[in-house]
Amino acid sequence: MAVVPCRNFLYSMQNRFLATLATVTASSLSSSASSSFTVQYLINSCGLPLEVALSTSLKLRLDERDTRKPESVLKFFKSHGFNDTHIAKLIAKRPSILHCRLHENLKPKIDFLVDNGITGNSLHELIVRNDLILKRSLNDHIIPSYEFLKDFFVNSESVLTSIKRSSWLFTIDLERYIRPNINLLVNEGVPIHVLRNFFMKNPRVLVQKFDRFINTLETVKKLGLEPTTPMFLHAFRVMLSMSESTWKNKVEVLKSLGWSDQAILSALKQHPLFLACSEKKIRRVMDFYLNTMKLEPATIISYPKFLMYALDTRLRPRYNVLMVLVSKKLIKEDKNKLAWVLTRTEANFYKHYILKHSDKVPGLFEIYHGTSEAKETDKL
């Protein structure tokens, strides 16, 4: 008689297993169908390539029965001039945007940017380049960031220029990371108009830890540069980019090439950006000036920007042309004068040393641009 209850128990377990299997199978099929639809939607409606759509679908699920939300998002972007390429890049970077609340979240942010002059290509590039903006709170982050920049720059045009160059200004905490550093520089005597121009071109320099900012400022002042001078911020930027050991190594390299401590400080005050050059470049360029052009160290020290010129694309090609012209007696061989020719703009050099003599020296253009004929001039 005990067989019947046992048999009933087995039937019960079997039914439960089959029911569970059916549920899992249905769920898997549903998930598979959803994934397949998502991939197709990303390809057909958003313009994503197959491979990108497949990887993106792992982070996004779209319901085939209701596509109103993603459709409204795509329509909204297109209404603001975003083209298919913009939309594809944006969706690939931030697929969750297709699920965003259009009227409560996305639209107010875009409207704010447009109302403040960020429109057309500027808007498209800003959003595609830094999609994190759309994740930031409008009231707690975007508006305060804009007001910070407007308060600092005073005019809206400068704000727009800075944002175009550095879209991340809309996504970091400016009050926390930049305000203290700006206040420090202003209190030290850096003219506000100089600081505004510097900020616009080099905003990342101001996003440094406050302690490091203070230490670097004191270091630059000890080198003899005052905050009120035009070159102070450039020297500050260079020193901020280097560790103490890197700075010492560059000084030792310059000393080994004939520079005194006083010469280094003098050059730093005149054109501090030359110290942004790597130790390897300093050695290569100085070797060219001293051993190929036979210049005196004093010539380079008097104009430290000499070290910043590219050896293979500027110095050597120009030197090759000048040596050919000297050999043809079309110009005089004056080492110091020839050195200053290297500082001329590309257009000026081309006009006065290539076009002017091209009739008398066939192949001068090829020599300048480093073709096979130019190799012969290395022997001159």
The span from the CA of 289 to the CA of 287, in Å, is 6
The span from the CA of 90 to the CA of 98, in Å, is 10
Task: Give mean pLDDT, residues 317-338.
Answer: 91
- Buried (b) or exposed (e) across 168-204, using 16+ Cβ within 10 A? ebbbbebeeebeebbebbeebebbeebbbebbbebbe
Residue 176 has pLDDT above 50, yes or no: yes
Residue 359 has pLDDT above 70, yes or no: yes
Asked if residues 307 and 288 have their Cβ atoms less than 8 Å apart, the reply is no
Structure tokens at 7: 């048999």
Q: Supply the mean pLDDT for the chain.
A: 87
**Which pLDDT value is given to residue 155?**
87
pLDDT digits (tens, 9 = 90+) for 227-279: 999 899 999 999 999 998 999 999 999 999 989 999 999 999 999 999 999 99
Residue 89 has pLDDT above 90, yes or no: yes
Residue 132 pLDDT level (bands cut at 50, 70, 90): very high
pLDDT digits (tens, 9 = 90+) for 151-161: 999 888 999 99
Asked if residues 231 and 272 have their Cβ atoms less than 8 Å apart, the reply is yes
Percent of the residues in the chain that have a pLDDT greater than 70, as a whole number: 88
Task: Give mean pLDDT, residues 126-138.
Answer: 94
Cα angle 253, 255, 259; round to 5: 125
Task: Write down the H helix ranges in 241-312.
Answer: 244-256, 261-270, 279-287, 297-302
Residue 18 pLDDT level (bands cut at 50, 70, 90): very low
Asked if residues 106 and 123 have their Cβ atoms less than 8 Å apart, the reply is no
